[in-house]
Chain A
Amino acid sequence: MRSLLAQSWQIYRKDMVVEYRTRERVVTMFVFSLIVVVIFNFAFNAGADVVQRVVPGMIWVAFAFAGMLSASRSFSPEKDRGTLDGLLLAPIDRGSIFLGKLLGNVTLIGLVQLAMLPLFVLFFNMTILPHLSKLLVIFFLGTVGFSSVATLFAAVAVNTRMRDVMLPVLLLPVASPVLIALVETTRTTFEGGDWQDMANWIRLLSVFTVVFLVASVMLFEYIMEE
């Protein structure tokens, strides 16, 4: 167990060093989320009255797309440069490759979320500070749950002919319960709701995250075998 975590940490560190040198992924994700928000604004022409109802959905569409970008880019360069084979040859547990990649995705999505939240305040006049602790818990749970499935399916999609199209097709239907739960809890939070008002959703988010995290670690081994 300890070596699994240590190995995951090594994979994570490697990915983050590469990312720190190029800053490719996190910048693309941020710009992409920003564009989604701007386009959504045109699409709904949201006045002050509608904004409260639309923003939670907008937030999670932006982050879901950013998350897919992150997951997809965590495997495609490795595949294209042939370094994925090197990773597989390394004398480490396959599960640690998955955990390292997952941790990387959660970190990058988290960074983009931190950068985007002030912009939501700016653009839509939202009050976030009083709800910050609740939002952090919800965002963390949801991001880990979503990224588990996203990382697993990205590893599948990178091997297919239509890899860019396959990831959303595989991921979004399976991740839809998480997305519904995230939008609902975020909306309840912004409306000033308490933990009590969203107990069911939090339970669903937690159970989904745990179940899919465990299932993904177990299934990743099968995906990566030659």
Chain B
Amino acid sequence: MAGIAARLRITPFGLICLLGLVATLYLSLIWAPRERVMGDVQRIMYFHVASAWIAEFAFVLVGVSSVIYLWLRERKWDIVAYSAAEIGFVFCCFVMITGPIWGKPVWGTWWTWDPRLTFSMILWLIYVAYLMLRVYGDDMPQVKTFLAVLGILGTIDIPFIHFATMWWRGLHPDSLVMTEEGLGAGMEVDMRIALGVSAVVFTLLFFYLMGRRMALERLRDEAEDLRERVEHRHPGSVGV
């Protein structure tokens, strides 16, 4: 097992994530009880809710690291913000894909402008804006500052979007996770366990991916640095 892991360059942390994902699949698709009204399609909730948690968590991380970046001006924090934005965007896309798959059989429609869907849509668009600015501004020295500003404003905006979309209209099933009776009181115990495991595993996976993504960005910096040094010593020897 360790030999295979080494050949595939899987770190112990990566292995834990992999095993966790297998456990999540088992718990949510087989072990958790079948929902009485919605049937098996409800099982998508274990992935949908966990991804939504990561999508929001990641953007707050973008905001916090953006503040630290503007304060300390260390490239490290820009890398944290960028990596969190990219991975958060992937999870946000996953939310936008799993939502309609569940919505069609249960609500009878792929999409409806309900508060939480609208919220996810706007969050998704802010992620898109962030990544677009990163791509189209790559050649400017100030782009990291601009991105930090967008990251901060986007994070401040989250509660406003939340209330605006909530007061606007409502159809989404009432949250069963955060109820007035306590955390997860609206669900069967087994369902709660499956969702809990799923959320923890997704969080671990997020941090695993963060580590990989940040390492990649540091390698890019290093490659860029080496290229400049070679170019400096032997002008014209490096393409681009």
Give residues in A with beta carbon < 8 Å to B.
149, 152, 156, 159-162, 166, 169-170, 172-174, 176-177, 180-181, 184, 200-201, 204, 207-208, 211-212, 215, 219, 222-223, 225-226
Question: Which of A149, A152, A173, A226 is close to B129, meaning CB atoms less than 8 Å apart?
Answer: A173
Q: A159-B137, A160-B133, A204-B164 are in contact. List 20 more A-B contacts (CB 8 A).
A: A152-B149, A152-B153, A156-B133, A169-B128, A170-B150, A173-B122, A174-B126, A174-B157, A177-B161, A177-B164, A180-B168, A200-B163, A215-B152, A215-B153, A215-B156, A219-B152, A219-B153, A222-B149, A223-B145, A225-B142
B105 CB to nearest chain A CB (Å):
29
7 residue pairs, one from A and one from B, having the closest CB atoms: A177-B164, A173-B125, A177-B160, A180-B164, A173-B126, A156-B146, A219-B149
Asked if B133 and A166 make an inter-chain contact with CB atoms under 8 angstroms apart, the answer reads yes
Q: A211-B156, A212-B156 are in contact. Are A181 and B136 (CB under 8 A)?
A: no
Q: Is the interface of B mostly helix, strand, loop or mixed?
A: helix
Please name all residues of chain A whose beta carbon is closer than 8 Å to the beta carbon of B106 when the two chains form the complex. none
| Proximity string of chain B (178-208) to chain A, C-beta cutoff 8 Å, 1 when within and 0 when not | 0000000000000000000000000000000
Interface residues of B toward A: which range? 20 to 34
Asked if A174 and B154 make an inter-chain contact with CB atoms under 8 angstroms apart, the answer reads yes
Please name all residues of chain A whose beta carbon is closer than 8 Å to the beta carbon of B70 when the two chains form the complex. 219, 222
Complex alpha-carbon distance, A177 and B149, angstroms? 18
Please name all residues of chain A whose beta carbon is closer than 8 Å to the beta carbon of B161 when the two chains form the complex. 176-177
Asked if A201 and B157 make an inter-chain contact with CB atoms under 8 angstroms apart, the answer reads no
Please name all residues of chain A whose beta carbon is closer than 8 Å to the beta carbon of B126 when the two chains form the complex. 173-174
Whether B226 sits at the interface, judged by CB under 8 Å, is no
| Proximity string of chain B (119-148) to chain A, C-beta cutoff 8 Å, 1 when within and 0 when not | 000100110110011001101101101101
A158 CB to nearest chain B CB (Å):
11
Complex alpha-carbon distance, A183 and B137, angstroms? 33
Whether B98 sits at the interface, judged by CB under 8 Å, is no
Question: Which of A159, A162, A181 is close to B164, meaning CB atoms less than 8 Å apart?
Answer: A181
Complex alpha-carbon distance, A181 and B157, angstroms? 14
Asked if B153 and A161 make an inter-chain contact with CB atoms under 8 angstroms apart, the answer reads no
Please name all residues of chain B whose beta carbon is closer than 8 Å to the beta carbon of A160 when the two chains form the complex. 133, 136-137, 140, 143, 146
Asked if B146 and A159 make an inter-chain contact with CB atoms under 8 angstroms apart, the answer reads yes
Complex alpha-carbon distance, A161 and B138, angstroms? 10
Q: A204-B164, A222-B145 are in contact. Are A162 and B153 (CB under 8 A)?
A: no
Please name all residues of chain A whose beta carbon is closer than 8 Å to the beta carbon of B112 when the two chains form the complex. none
Complex alpha-carbon distance, A211 and B153, angstroms? 10
Complex alpha-carbon distance, A152 and B122, angstroms? 19
Asked if A161 and B157 make an inter-chain contact with CB atoms under 8 angstroms apart, the answer reads no
Complex alpha-carbon distance, A166 and B128, angstroms? 11
Please name all residues of chain B whose beta carbon is closer than 8 Å to the beta carbon of A208 when the two chains form the complex. 160
Complex alpha-carbon distance, A162 and B154, angstroms? 21
Asked if B163 and A204 make an inter-chain contact with CB atoms under 8 angstroms apart, the answer reads yes
Asked if B165 and A180 make an inter-chain contact with CB atoms under 8 angstroms apart, the answer reads yes
Please name all residues of chain B whose beta carbon is closer than 8 Å to the beta carbon of A181 when the two chains form the complex. 164
Asked if A176 and B164 make an inter-chain contact with CB atoms under 8 angstroms apart, the answer reads yes
Please name all residues of chain A whose beta carbon is closer than 8 Å to the beta carbon of B165 when the two chains form the complex. 180
Asked if B150 and A156 make an inter-chain contact with CB atoms under 8 angstroms apart, the answer reads yes
Complex alpha-carbon distance, A84 and B172, angstroms? 48
